[in-house]
Structure 1
Protein backbone atom coordinates (compact mmCIF):
# COMPACT_ATOMS: atom_id res chain seq x y z
CA UNK A 1 0.00 0.00 0.00
CA UNK A 2 1.41 3.41 -0.98
CA UNK A 3 2.03 6.19 1.55
CA UNK A 4 -0.80 8.23 0.07
CA UNK A 5 -3.23 5.34 0.47
CA UNK A 6 -2.09 4.87 4.08
CA UNK A 7 -2.70 8.54 4.83
CA UNK A 8 -6.17 8.41 3.28
CA UNK A 9 -6.94 5.34 5.36
CA UNK A 10 -5.78 7.16 8.50
CA UNK A 11 -7.90 10.20 7.71
CA UNK A 12 -11.00 8.12 7.07
CA UNK A 13 -10.43 6.01 10.21
CA UNK A 14 -10.17 9.02 12.53
CA UNK A 15 -13.14 10.77 10.91
CA UNK A 16 -15.18 7.58 11.35
CA UNK A 17 -14.08 7.23 14.98
CA UNK A 18 -15.24 10.73 15.86
CA UNK A 19 -18.49 10.38 13.92
CA UNK A 20 -19.36 7.14 15.76
CA UNK A 21 -19.08 8.98 19.08
CA UNK A 22 -21.15 11.89 17.76
CA UNK A 23 -23.92 9.72 16.32
CA UNK A 24 -24.04 7.59 19.47
CA UNK A 25 -24.17 10.55 21.86
CA UNK A 26 -26.55 13.09 20.31
CA UNK A 27 -29.35 13.31 21.17
CA UNK A 28 -30.08 9.95 22.82
CA UNK A 29 -27.07 9.27 25.07
CA UNK A 30 -25.22 12.53 25.67
CA UNK A 31 -23.25 10.95 28.52
CA UNK A 32 -21.15 9.43 25.70
CA UNK A 33 -20.19 12.84 24.26
CA UNK A 34 -17.11 13.28 26.52
CA UNK A 35 -15.64 10.14 24.93
CA UNK A 36 -14.70 12.38 21.99
CA UNK A 37 -12.38 14.23 24.37
CA UNK A 38 -11.05 11.00 25.86
CA UNK A 39 -9.95 9.85 22.42
CA UNK A 40 -7.68 12.87 21.92
CA UNK A 41 -4.69 11.88 24.13
CA UNK A 42 -4.86 8.36 22.65
CA UNK A 43 -4.93 9.28 18.94
CA UNK A 44 -2.51 12.19 19.37
CA UNK A 45 0.41 9.73 19.70
CA UNK A 46 -0.38 8.11 16.35
CA UNK A 47 -0.87 10.96 13.89
CA UNK A 48 -0.48 14.71 14.35
CA UNK A 49 -3.77 15.47 12.50
CA UNK A 50 -5.71 12.85 14.46
CA UNK A 51 -7.22 15.16 17.17
CA UNK A 52 -8.49 17.51 14.45
CA UNK A 53 -9.94 14.65 12.40
CA UNK A 54 -11.65 12.98 15.36
CA UNK A 55 -13.36 16.22 16.38
CA UNK A 56 -14.23 17.03 12.76
CA UNK A 57 -15.96 13.64 12.47
CA UNK A 58 -17.70 14.24 15.80
CA UNK A 59 -19.14 17.61 14.75
CA UNK A 60 -20.06 16.44 11.24
CA UNK A 61 -22.13 13.72 12.90
CA UNK A 62 -23.82 15.96 15.49
CA UNK A 63 -24.65 18.98 13.31
CA UNK A 64 -26.00 17.32 10.16
CA UNK A 65 -29.45 18.79 10.88
CA UNK A 66 -28.09 22.09 9.54
CA UNK A 67 -28.39 20.77 5.98
CA UNK A 68 -32.19 20.51 6.07
CA UNK A 69 -32.67 23.45 8.45
CA UNK A 70 -30.70 25.85 6.26
CA UNK A 71 -32.57 24.65 3.18
CA UNK A 72 -35.87 25.52 4.90
CA UNK A 73 -34.76 28.99 6.08
CA UNK A 74 -33.02 29.90 2.81
CA UNK A 75 -35.05 28.00 0.17
CA UNK A 76 -33.72 30.17 -2.66
CA UNK A 77 -30.14 29.04 -1.92
CA UNK A 78 -30.85 25.35 -2.37
CA UNK A 79 -29.29 22.38 -0.62
CA UNK A 80 -25.70 23.46 -1.24
CA UNK A 81 -25.85 26.33 1.25
CA UNK A 82 -26.94 23.89 3.95
CA UNK A 83 -24.09 21.54 3.09
CA UNK A 84 -21.69 24.48 3.14
CA UNK A 85 -22.89 25.63 6.59
CA UNK A 86 -22.69 22.07 7.90
CA UNK A 87 -19.18 21.36 6.66
CA UNK A 88 -17.89 24.89 7.28
CA UNK A 89 -19.12 25.08 10.87
CA UNK A 90 -17.78 21.60 11.64
CA UNK A 91 -14.37 22.59 10.31
CA UNK A 92 -14.43 25.73 12.44
CA UNK A 93 -15.32 23.76 15.59
CA UNK A 94 -12.49 21.31 14.88
CA UNK A 95 -9.96 23.99 13.93
CA UNK A 96 -8.59 24.64 17.47
CA UNK A 97 -7.64 20.96 17.72
CA UNK A 98 -4.93 21.49 15.11
CA UNK A 99 -2.99 23.03 18.01
CA UNK A 100 -3.46 19.93 20.19
CA UNK A 101 -0.07 18.23 19.44
CA UNK A 102 1.82 21.47 19.96
CA UNK A 103 0.06 22.30 23.24
CA UNK A 104 0.70 18.73 24.40
CA UNK A 105 4.44 19.20 23.83
CA UNK A 106 4.46 22.73 25.25
CA UNK A 107 3.13 21.40 28.56
CA UNK A 108 5.76 18.63 28.48
CA UNK A 109 3.46 15.80 27.49
CA UNK A 110 2.16 13.08 29.75
CA UNK A 111 -0.96 13.52 31.81
CA UNK A 112 -0.37 17.24 32.33
CA UNK A 113 0.15 17.86 28.61
CA UNK A 114 -2.96 15.88 27.65
CA UNK A 115 -5.09 17.66 30.24
CA UNK A 116 -3.90 21.15 29.26
CA UNK A 117 -4.18 20.51 25.51
CA UNK A 118 -7.68 19.03 25.81
CA UNK A 119 -9.02 21.79 28.04
CA UNK A 120 -7.57 24.66 25.99
CA UNK A 121 -8.66 23.34 22.61
CA UNK A 122 -12.17 22.34 23.76
CA UNK A 123 -12.71 25.70 25.46
CA UNK A 124 -11.76 27.63 22.32
CA UNK A 125 -13.79 25.27 20.12
CA UNK A 126 -17.29 25.43 21.60
CA UNK A 127 -17.30 27.46 24.82
CA UNK A 128 -15.83 30.96 24.65
CA UNK A 129 -16.32 33.50 21.82
CA UNK A 130 -15.82 33.86 18.96
CA UNK A 131 -16.55 30.19 18.23
CA UNK A 132 -18.62 30.00 21.41
CA UNK A 133 -21.44 31.93 19.69
CA UNK A 134 -21.89 29.14 17.14
CA UNK A 135 -20.37 26.13 18.93
CA UNK A 136 -23.16 23.68 19.71
CA UNK A 137 -23.04 20.00 20.78
CA UNK A 138 -20.03 20.67 23.01
CA UNK A 139 -18.70 17.35 24.37
CA UNK A 140 -18.65 18.88 27.85
CA UNK A 141 -22.46 19.15 27.89
CA UNK A 142 -22.57 15.37 28.16
CA UNK A 143 -20.89 15.55 31.58
CA UNK A 144 -23.20 18.25 32.97
CA UNK A 145 -26.08 16.04 34.21
CA UNK A 146 -23.71 14.36 36.67
CA UNK A 147 -22.55 17.70 38.10
CA UNK A 148 -19.01 18.68 39.00
CA UNK A 149 -18.26 15.08 39.92
CA UNK A 150 -18.78 13.96 36.31
CA UNK A 151 -16.61 16.76 34.96
CA UNK A 152 -13.88 15.88 37.46
CA UNK A 153 -13.97 12.22 36.41
CA UNK A 154 -13.64 13.18 32.72
CA UNK A 155 -10.61 15.33 33.58
CA UNK A 156 -9.05 12.48 35.56
CA UNK A 157 -9.62 10.12 32.64
CA UNK A 158 -7.90 12.52 30.26
CA UNK A 159 -4.97 12.78 32.66
CA UNK A 160 -4.75 9.00 33.05
CA UNK A 161 -4.87 8.37 29.30
CA UNK A 162 -2.19 11.01 28.79
CA UNK A 163 0.14 9.07 31.10
CA UNK A 164 -0.19 5.88 29.09
CA UNK A 165 3.31 6.05 27.63
CA UNK A 166 4.88 6.89 31.02
CA UNK A 167 3.32 4.13 33.08
CA UNK A 168 0.82 1.89 31.32
CA UNK A 169 -0.31 0.06 34.47
CA UNK A 170 -0.97 3.26 36.44
CA UNK A 171 -2.72 4.84 33.48
CA UNK A 172 -4.85 1.73 32.95
CA UNK A 173 -5.93 1.56 36.59
CA UNK A 174 -6.76 5.28 36.74
CA UNK A 175 -8.68 5.11 33.46
CA UNK A 176 -10.59 1.97 34.46
CA UNK A 177 -11.61 3.36 37.85
CA UNK A 178 -12.64 6.73 36.42
CA UNK A 179 -14.56 5.18 33.55
CA UNK A 180 -16.44 2.91 35.93
CA UNK A 181 -17.23 5.85 38.18
CA UNK A 182 -18.48 7.90 35.24
CA UNK A 183 -20.72 5.17 33.81
CA UNK A 184 -22.00 4.02 37.21
CA UNK A 185 -21.95 7.41 38.94
CA UNK A 186 -25.33 7.17 40.72
CA UNK A 187 -24.03 4.11 42.61
CA UNK A 188 -20.30 4.75 42.99
CA UNK A 189 -20.12 8.46 43.82
CA UNK A 190 -22.37 8.08 46.82
CA UNK A 191 -19.68 5.81 48.31
CA UNK A 192 -16.94 8.36 47.51
CA UNK A 193 -18.95 11.21 49.00
CA UNK A 194 -19.00 13.14 45.71
CA UNK A 195 -22.35 14.96 45.33
CA UNK A 196 -24.45 13.53 42.50
CA UNK A 197 -27.03 15.78 40.88
CA UNK A 198 -30.54 14.53 41.66
CA UNK A 199 -33.34 14.68 39.13
CA UNK A 200 -34.55 18.23 38.54
CA UNK A 201 -37.11 19.35 41.14
CA UNK A 202 -40.74 20.04 40.27
CA UNK A 203 -41.90 23.39 38.92
CA UNK A 204 -43.69 25.77 41.29
CA UNK A 205 -47.45 25.22 41.43
CA UNK A 206 -49.37 27.11 38.77
CA UNK A 207 -46.47 27.50 36.33
CA UNK A 208 -47.53 26.32 32.86
CA UNK A 209 -46.50 26.72 29.24
CA UNK A 210 -48.31 26.72 25.93
CA UNK A 211 -46.85 24.69 23.06
CA UNK A 212 -47.94 25.50 19.51
CA UNK A 213 -47.58 23.93 16.09
CA UNK A 214 -48.18 26.96 13.89
CA UNK A 215 -45.02 26.48 11.84
CA UNK A 216 -43.55 29.49 10.06
CA UNK A 217 -45.30 32.75 10.91
CA UNK A 218 -45.48 35.90 8.78
CA UNK A 219 -46.89 39.38 9.32
CA UNK A 220 -50.54 38.41 8.88
CA UNK A 221 -50.26 35.05 10.63
CA UNK A 222 -48.69 36.77 13.67
CA UNK A 223 -51.95 38.69 14.06
CA UNK A 224 -54.21 35.65 13.72
CA UNK A 225 -51.93 33.66 16.06
CA UNK A 226 -52.14 36.35 18.75
CA UNK A 227 -55.92 36.53 18.35
CA UNK A 228 -56.05 32.76 18.96
CA UNK A 229 -53.67 32.75 21.90
CA UNK A 230 -55.05 35.66 23.95
CA UNK A 231 -58.30 33.82 24.92
CA UNK A 232 -56.29 30.68 25.64
CA UNK A 233 -53.90 32.54 27.96
CA UNK A 234 -56.82 34.22 29.74
CA UNK A 235 -58.49 30.84 30.28
CA UNK A 236 -55.30 29.49 31.84
CA UNK A 237 -55.02 32.49 34.18
CA UNK A 238 -58.70 32.33 35.13
CA UNK A 239 -58.32 28.62 35.95
CA UNK A 240 -55.78 29.50 38.65
CA UNK A 241 -52.44 29.34 36.83
CA UNK A 242 -49.99 31.96 38.05
CA UNK A 243 -47.30 31.99 35.33
CA UNK A 244 -47.82 31.26 31.62
CA UNK A 245 -44.88 30.93 29.21
CA UNK A 246 -45.30 31.11 25.43
CA UNK A 247 -42.84 30.19 22.64
CA UNK A 248 -40.10 32.39 21.24
CA UNK A 249 -41.24 35.08 18.81
CA UNK A 250 -44.84 33.83 18.78
CA UNK A 251 -46.26 37.40 18.85
CA UNK A 252 -43.97 38.64 16.08
CA UNK A 253 -42.85 42.30 15.97
CA UNK A 254 -43.89 44.01 19.20
CA UNK A 255 -45.57 47.07 17.68
CA UNK A 256 -48.62 49.17 18.54
CA UNK A 257 -51.06 46.78 16.87
CA UNK A 258 -49.60 43.73 18.62
CA UNK A 259 -49.75 45.49 21.98
CA UNK A 260 -53.43 46.28 21.38
CA UNK A 261 -54.22 42.60 20.75
CA UNK A 262 -52.49 41.57 23.99
CA UNK A 263 -53.98 44.42 26.02
CA UNK A 264 -56.67 42.20 27.65
CA UNK A 265 -53.89 40.00 29.09
CA UNK A 266 -52.01 43.03 30.39
CA UNK A 267 -55.20 44.36 31.99
CA UNK A 268 -55.86 40.98 33.60
CA UNK A 269 -52.43 41.04 35.26
CA UNK A 270 -53.18 44.55 36.52
CA UNK A 271 -56.33 43.28 38.25
CA UNK A 272 -54.62 40.09 39.42
CA UNK A 273 -51.04 41.06 40.35
CA UNK A 274 -50.16 37.49 41.33
CA UNK A 275 -50.23 36.47 37.64
CA UNK A 276 -47.46 36.77 35.03
CA UNK A 277 -47.38 36.08 31.30
CA UNK A 278 -44.09 35.63 29.42
CA UNK A 279 -44.56 36.16 25.71
CA UNK A 280 -41.98 35.69 22.95
CA UNK A 281 -41.74 38.71 20.65
CA UNK A 282 -39.40 40.69 18.39
CA UNK A 283 -38.85 44.05 20.07
CA UNK A 284 -37.80 47.03 17.96
CA UNK A 285 -34.35 48.29 18.99
CA UNK A 286 -33.08 51.27 17.06
CA UNK A 287 -33.86 51.84 13.43
CA UNK A 288 -35.01 48.68 11.62
CA UNK A 289 -33.30 46.43 14.19
CA UNK A 290 -34.82 43.97 16.62
CA UNK A 291 -34.17 42.16 19.88
CA UNK A 292 -35.31 38.58 20.35
CA UNK A 293 -37.00 38.84 23.75
CA UNK A 294 -39.60 37.72 26.24
CA UNK A 295 -42.24 40.28 27.20
CA UNK A 296 -42.94 39.91 30.91
CA UNK A 297 -46.52 41.08 31.62
CA UNK A 298 -47.08 41.57 35.32
CA UNK A 299 -49.14 43.94 37.45
CA UNK A 300 -50.30 45.81 34.35
CA UNK A 301 -46.75 46.58 33.20
CA UNK A 302 -44.42 45.27 30.50
CA UNK A 303 -40.78 44.40 30.98
CA UNK A 304 -38.43 43.38 28.17
CA UNK A 305 -36.23 40.34 28.85
CA UNK A 306 -33.74 40.39 25.95
CA UNK A 307 -31.64 37.53 24.65
CA UNK A 308 -27.88 37.79 24.13
CA UNK A 309 -27.16 35.61 21.10
CA UNK A 310 -29.64 35.32 18.19
CA UNK A 311 -29.06 32.86 15.36
CA UNK A 312 -26.18 34.04 13.14
CA UNK A 313 -27.03 34.60 9.46
CA UNK A 314 -30.79 34.06 9.72
CA UNK A 315 -31.39 36.58 12.55
CA UNK A 316 -28.09 38.37 13.17
CA UNK A 317 -26.62 39.75 9.95
CA UNK A 318 -24.79 43.05 10.58
CA UNK A 319 -23.58 43.14 6.97
CA UNK A 320 -27.26 43.71 6.05
CA UNK A 321 -28.56 45.64 9.07
CA UNK A 322 -32.17 45.94 7.91
CA UNK A 323 -34.29 43.66 10.15
CA UNK A 324 -31.17 42.27 11.82
CA UNK A 325 -31.34 41.20 15.47
CA UNK A 326 -29.03 42.59 18.11
CA UNK A 327 -26.08 40.49 19.28
CA UNK A 328 -24.83 41.16 22.82
CA UNK A 329 -22.21 38.48 23.45
CA UNK A 330 -20.85 39.98 26.68
CA UNK A 331 -24.19 41.21 28.04
CA UNK A 332 -25.59 40.60 31.49
CA UNK A 333 -26.74 37.08 32.41
CA UNK A 334 -30.33 36.37 31.39
CA UNK A 335 -32.03 36.61 34.77
CA UNK A 336 -35.38 37.87 36.02
CA UNK A 337 -37.75 37.60 38.96
CA UNK A 338 -41.09 35.95 38.18
CA UNK A 339 -43.76 35.32 40.82
CA UNK A 340 -41.15 35.96 43.50
CA UNK A 341 -38.87 33.26 42.00
CA UNK A 342 -35.44 33.95 40.49
CA UNK A 343 -35.44 32.56 36.96
CA UNK A 344 -32.85 32.20 34.24
CA UNK A 345 -33.89 32.04 30.62
CA UNK A 346 -32.30 30.80 27.41
CA UNK A 347 -34.16 31.75 24.24
CA UNK A 348 -34.16 29.09 21.50
CA UNK A 349 -30.71 29.10 19.83
CA UNK A 350 -29.01 29.93 23.14
CA UNK A 351 -30.18 26.57 24.49
CA UNK A 352 -27.67 24.84 22.20
CA UNK A 353 -24.68 26.86 23.40
CA UNK A 354 -22.46 26.82 26.47
CA UNK A 355 -21.51 30.51 26.60
CA UNK A 356 -24.90 32.09 27.51
CA UNK A 357 -25.70 29.28 29.95
CA UNK A 358 -22.45 29.90 31.86
CA UNK A 359 -23.89 33.24 32.99
CA UNK A 360 -26.55 31.37 34.97
CA UNK A 361 -24.02 29.42 37.04
CA UNK A 362 -23.71 30.72 40.60
CA UNK A 363 -26.58 33.16 40.03
CA UNK A 364 -29.09 31.60 42.40
CA UNK A 365 -31.45 30.52 39.62
CA UNK A 366 -34.48 28.56 40.82
CA UNK A 367 -36.25 27.88 37.49
CA UNK A 368 -34.94 27.71 33.92
CA UNK A 369 -37.21 29.08 31.17
CA UNK A 370 -36.70 27.64 27.68
CA UNK A 371 -38.92 29.21 24.98
CA UNK A 372 -38.15 28.11 21.41
CA UNK A 373 -39.34 28.32 17.81
CA UNK A 374 -37.98 25.35 15.85
CA UNK A 375 -40.45 25.01 12.96
CA UNK A 376 -37.54 25.22 10.53
CA UNK A 377 -35.80 22.19 12.08
CA UNK A 378 -38.79 19.85 12.08
CA UNK A 379 -37.72 16.41 10.89
CA UNK A 380 -34.11 16.86 12.06
CA UNK A 381 -32.31 16.02 15.31
CA UNK A 382 -31.97 19.71 16.25
CA UNK A 383 -35.13 19.99 18.45
CA UNK A 384 -34.10 16.86 20.38
CA UNK A 385 -30.52 18.13 20.77
CA UNK A 386 -31.90 21.42 22.04
CA UNK A 387 -34.12 19.62 24.54
CA UNK A 388 -31.38 17.40 25.98
CA UNK A 389 -28.96 20.34 26.17
CA UNK A 390 -31.46 22.31 28.28
CA UNK A 391 -32.13 19.26 30.44
CA UNK A 392 -28.38 18.85 30.99
CA UNK A 393 -28.03 22.45 32.17
CA UNK A 394 -31.09 22.08 34.40
CA UNK A 395 -29.60 18.99 36.05
CA UNK A 396 -26.27 20.76 36.47
CA UNK A 397 -27.94 23.80 38.06
CA UNK A 398 -30.36 21.63 40.05
CA UNK A 399 -33.47 23.46 38.82
CA UNK A 400 -36.68 22.55 36.93
CA UNK A 401 -37.27 23.57 33.30
CA UNK A 402 -40.34 25.30 31.89
CA UNK A 403 -40.25 25.08 28.09
CA UNK A 404 -42.62 26.39 25.41
CA UNK A 405 -42.01 25.38 21.80
CA UNK A 406 -43.52 26.29 18.44
CA UNK A 407 -43.11 23.59 15.78
Structure 2
Protein backbone atom coordinates (compact mmCIF):
# COMPACT_ATOMS: atom_id res chain seq x y z
CA UNK A 1 0.00 0.00 0.00
CA UNK A 2 2.89 2.38 0.61
CA UNK A 3 4.64 1.66 -2.68
CA UNK A 4 5.59 4.92 -4.30
CA UNK A 5 4.28 7.02 -1.43
CA UNK A 6 6.87 6.41 1.28
CA UNK A 7 9.97 8.51 0.45
CA UNK A 8 12.20 6.96 3.12
CA UNK A 9 15.42 5.07 2.55
CA UNK A 10 14.05 2.40 4.89
CA UNK A 11 11.22 1.78 2.44
CA UNK A 12 13.64 1.51 -0.50
CA UNK A 13 15.71 -1.03 1.50
CA UNK A 14 12.56 -3.06 2.25
CA UNK A 15 11.62 -3.01 -1.44
CA UNK A 16 15.15 -4.09 -2.39
CA UNK A 17 14.92 -6.99 0.09
CA UNK A 18 11.66 -8.13 -1.55
CA UNK A 19 13.31 -7.91 -4.99
CA UNK A 20 16.36 -9.89 -3.87
CA UNK A 21 14.20 -12.57 -2.23
CA UNK A 22 12.05 -12.89 -5.36
CA UNK A 23 15.12 -12.99 -7.61
CA UNK A 24 16.94 -15.69 -5.72
CA UNK A 25 19.79 -16.94 -7.86
CA UNK A 26 17.95 -17.81 -11.05
CA UNK A 27 15.97 -14.71 -12.03
CA UNK A 28 17.33 -12.06 -14.34
CA UNK A 29 14.34 -9.72 -14.41
CA UNK A 30 11.91 -8.58 -11.72
CA UNK A 31 8.81 -6.53 -12.62
CA UNK A 32 7.45 -4.12 -10.01
CA UNK A 33 4.14 -2.21 -10.19
CA UNK A 34 3.30 1.29 -11.32
CA UNK A 35 4.83 3.95 -9.06
CA UNK A 36 6.70 1.31 -7.02
CA UNK A 37 9.84 3.44 -6.90
CA UNK A 38 8.00 6.70 -6.23
CA UNK A 39 9.60 9.96 -7.27
CA UNK A 40 12.78 9.01 -9.14
CA UNK A 41 15.76 11.01 -7.93
CA UNK A 42 19.54 10.78 -8.40
CA UNK A 43 19.84 9.56 -4.79
CA UNK A 44 17.39 6.70 -5.39
CA UNK A 45 19.14 5.80 -8.61
CA UNK A 46 22.48 5.67 -6.79
CA UNK A 47 20.99 3.49 -4.03
CA UNK A 48 19.57 0.97 -6.52
CA UNK A 49 22.61 0.98 -8.79
CA UNK A 50 24.96 0.29 -5.89
CA UNK A 51 22.60 -2.34 -4.48
CA UNK A 52 22.51 -4.21 -7.79
CA UNK A 53 26.31 -4.30 -8.19
CA UNK A 54 27.66 -7.73 -9.20
CA UNK A 55 24.14 -9.06 -9.76
CA UNK A 56 22.89 -10.32 -13.10
CA UNK A 57 19.57 -8.73 -12.25
CA UNK A 58 17.45 -6.07 -13.94
CA UNK A 59 14.55 -4.48 -12.10
CA UNK A 60 11.77 -3.12 -14.29
CA UNK A 61 9.56 -0.81 -12.28
CA UNK A 62 7.16 2.09 -12.35
CA UNK A 63 8.32 5.51 -11.19
CA UNK A 64 7.44 9.17 -11.41
CA UNK A 65 9.80 11.63 -13.12
CA UNK A 66 9.31 15.28 -12.27
CA UNK A 67 9.96 17.79 -15.08
CA UNK A 68 9.53 21.53 -15.58
CA UNK A 69 5.90 21.20 -16.74
CA UNK A 70 4.66 18.44 -14.44
CA UNK A 71 5.62 14.80 -14.38
CA UNK A 72 5.87 11.60 -16.41
CA UNK A 73 4.52 8.22 -15.35
CA UNK A 74 7.25 5.85 -16.57
CA UNK A 75 8.67 2.36 -16.53
CA UNK A 76 12.39 2.21 -15.71
CA UNK A 77 14.94 -0.53 -16.22
CA UNK A 78 17.50 -0.61 -13.39
CA UNK A 79 20.68 -2.58 -13.16
CA UNK A 80 24.22 -2.18 -11.86
CA UNK A 81 25.03 0.37 -14.57
CA UNK A 82 22.16 2.73 -13.73
CA UNK A 83 18.61 3.38 -14.85
CA UNK A 84 16.92 4.27 -18.10
CA UNK A 85 13.38 5.10 -19.02
CA UNK A 86 12.05 2.36 -21.25
CA UNK A 87 8.47 3.60 -21.45
CA UNK A 88 6.48 6.80 -20.91
CA UNK A 89 2.76 6.37 -20.37
CA UNK A 90 0.83 7.23 -23.53
CA UNK A 91 -2.66 7.60 -22.08
CA UNK A 92 -2.77 8.86 -18.50
CA UNK A 93 -6.12 9.13 -16.73
CA UNK A 94 -7.90 12.28 -17.95
CA UNK A 95 -8.41 15.07 -15.41
CA UNK A 96 -6.61 13.41 -12.48
CA UNK A 97 -3.33 12.96 -14.40
CA UNK A 98 -3.70 14.40 -17.91
CA UNK A 99 -4.84 18.02 -17.96
CA UNK A 100 -4.64 19.32 -21.53
CA UNK A 101 -6.17 22.68 -20.59
CA UNK A 102 -3.00 23.46 -18.60
CA UNK A 103 -1.07 23.81 -21.85
CA UNK A 104 -3.73 26.07 -23.32
CA UNK A 105 -3.80 28.29 -20.24
CA UNK A 106 -0.04 28.39 -19.62
CA UNK A 107 -0.24 26.39 -16.39
CA UNK A 108 2.01 23.51 -15.40
CA UNK A 109 1.16 20.26 -13.69
CA UNK A 110 -0.07 16.85 -14.67
CA UNK A 111 1.40 14.44 -17.16
CA UNK A 112 1.23 14.72 -20.95
CA UNK A 113 -0.61 12.27 -23.18
CA UNK A 114 1.94 10.72 -25.53
CA UNK A 115 -0.67 9.10 -27.73
CA UNK A 116 1.61 8.24 -30.67
CA UNK A 117 4.89 7.65 -28.82
CA UNK A 118 6.72 4.47 -27.76
CA UNK A 119 4.17 1.72 -28.59
CA UNK A 120 6.88 -0.92 -28.03
CA UNK A 121 10.35 -1.02 -26.57
CA UNK A 122 13.30 -3.18 -27.46
CA UNK A 123 14.61 -4.79 -24.33
CA UNK A 124 17.23 -7.52 -24.02
CA UNK A 125 16.65 -8.66 -27.60
CA UNK A 126 12.86 -8.83 -27.43
CA UNK A 127 10.12 -6.44 -28.42
CA UNK A 128 7.93 -5.57 -25.45
CA UNK A 129 4.52 -3.89 -25.44
CA UNK A 130 4.18 -2.10 -22.09
CA UNK A 131 0.91 -0.76 -20.69
CA UNK A 132 0.48 1.25 -17.50
CA UNK A 133 -2.78 1.01 -15.55
CA UNK A 134 -5.54 2.92 -17.40
CA UNK A 135 -4.05 2.01 -20.80
CA UNK A 136 -5.02 -1.63 -20.23
CA UNK A 137 -8.68 -0.64 -20.47
CA UNK A 138 -8.42 1.34 -23.71
CA UNK A 139 -8.47 0.14 -27.29
CA UNK A 140 -5.93 2.55 -28.81
CA UNK A 141 -2.78 1.83 -26.73
CA UNK A 142 -3.20 -1.92 -27.16
CA UNK A 143 -3.87 -1.84 -30.92
CA UNK A 144 -1.08 0.69 -31.40
CA UNK A 145 1.38 -1.65 -29.65
CA UNK A 146 0.13 -4.80 -31.37
CA UNK A 147 0.66 -3.22 -34.80
CA UNK A 148 4.41 -3.56 -34.07
CA UNK A 149 4.16 -7.33 -33.47
CA UNK A 150 5.67 -7.46 -29.96
CA UNK A 151 7.01 -10.64 -28.37
CA UNK A 152 5.74 -9.92 -24.87
CA UNK A 153 3.06 -7.85 -23.13
CA UNK A 154 3.91 -6.35 -19.75
CA UNK A 155 1.32 -4.52 -17.68
CA UNK A 156 1.72 -2.69 -14.41
CA UNK A 157 -0.83 -0.96 -12.26
CA UNK A 158 -1.37 0.75 -8.95
CA UNK A 159 -4.60 -0.21 -7.21
CA UNK A 160 -3.93 0.68 -3.56
CA UNK A 161 -6.49 3.48 -3.83
CA UNK A 162 -9.25 1.14 -5.03
CA UNK A 163 -9.76 -0.81 -1.78
CA UNK A 164 -13.02 -2.73 -1.98
CA UNK A 165 -13.48 -2.07 -5.70
CA UNK A 166 -12.95 -4.47 -8.59
CA UNK A 167 -10.75 -2.16 -10.69
CA UNK A 168 -7.57 -4.25 -10.44
CA UNK A 169 -9.53 -7.43 -11.21
CA UNK A 170 -10.96 -5.76 -14.32
CA UNK A 171 -7.49 -4.62 -15.40
CA UNK A 172 -6.08 -8.13 -14.92
CA UNK A 173 -8.96 -9.64 -16.90
CA UNK A 174 -8.50 -7.06 -19.65
CA UNK A 175 -4.74 -7.67 -19.90
CA UNK A 176 -5.29 -11.43 -19.93
CA UNK A 177 -7.87 -11.09 -22.71
CA UNK A 178 -5.54 -8.91 -24.81
CA UNK A 179 -2.69 -11.40 -24.37
CA UNK A 180 -4.92 -14.31 -25.38
CA UNK A 181 -6.38 -12.44 -28.33
CA UNK A 182 -2.91 -11.70 -29.69
CA UNK A 183 -1.39 -15.06 -28.58
CA UNK A 184 1.45 -13.62 -26.59
CA UNK A 185 3.00 -14.12 -23.17
CA UNK A 186 1.92 -11.73 -20.45
CA UNK A 187 3.70 -10.54 -17.31
CA UNK A 188 1.72 -8.46 -14.79
CA UNK A 189 2.53 -6.58 -11.60
CA UNK A 190 -0.08 -4.75 -9.55
CA UNK A 191 0.13 -2.89 -6.27
CA UNK A 192 -3.05 -3.65 -4.33
Residue 85 of structure 1 corresponds to none
* SS of aligned partner of 2:116: coil
1:214-273: per-residue Cα shift (whole Å, max 9, x none)?
A: 15753xx1334322111222333342101100000111111123223322344345xx3x
Aligned partner (choices 277, 280, 295) of residue 76 of structure 2: 295
Alpha carbons 2:3, 2:37 under 8 Å: kept: no
Q: Which has the higher contact order (CA 8 A, sep 6+)?
A: 2
The residue number in structure 1 matching 2:63 is 281
Q: TM-score, normalised by structure 1?
A: 0.42
2:47 & 2:79 partners in 1: Cα distance? 16
CA deviations 1:21-62 (Å, max 9, x no partner) are xxxxxxxxxxxxxxxxxxxxxxxxxxxxxxxxxxxxxxxxxx
Q: Which runs of 5+ in 2 are unaligned?
A: none
Q: Does the CA-based 8 Å contact 1:394-1:401 persist in structure 2? A: yes
Q: Identify the match of residue 155 of structure 2 among 354, 370, 373.
A: 370
Counterpart mapping for 1:220-231 below 5 A: 221-223=6-8, 224-231=10-17
Partner of 2:26: 240
Secondary structure, in 3 states, of the residue corresponding to 2:38?
A: coil
- Tell me, in whole angstroms, the C-alpha distance in 2 between the residues paired with 1:339 and 1:265: 21
Q: Distance in 2 between matches of 1:348 and 1:341?
A: 22
- Structure having the higher helix fraction is 1
State the alpha-carbon separation in 2 of the partners of residues 216 and 303 from structure 1. 20
Partner of 1:251: 37
Tell me how far 1:348 sits from its aligned partner: 0.9
**Structure label with greater radius of gyration:** 1
TM-score scaled by length of structure 2: 0.85
2:94 to 312, 330, 338: 312
Offset of 1:298 from its aligned partner? 4.1
What is the alpha-carbon distance in structure 1 between the residues aligned to residue 156 and residue 28 of structure 2? 17
Give the secondary-structure state (helix, strand or coil) at the position aligned to 1:325. Answer: coil
Indicate the RMSD between aligned Cα atoms, in angstroms: 2.2
Q: CA deviation at 1:280?
A: 0.8
Partner of 1:345: 130
| Per-residue CA distance 1:176-220 (angstroms, 9 max, x = gap) | xxxxxxxxxxxxxxxxxxxxxxxxxxxxxxxxxxxxxx15753xx
Q: How many residues align?
A: 186
The more displaced of 393-402 and 377-386 is 377-386
**Change in CA separation of 1:226 and 1:377 when aligned onto 2, cut-off 3 Å:** same
Specify every segment of 5 or more residues in structure 1 that has no aligned partner in the other structure, as ranges. Answer: 1-213
1:377 deviates by 1.7
1:406 is matched with which residue? 191
Q: How does 1:3-18 map to 2 (within 5 A)?
A: none
Deviation (angstroms), 1:299 = 5.8
CA contact (8 A) 1:344 1:368 kept: yes
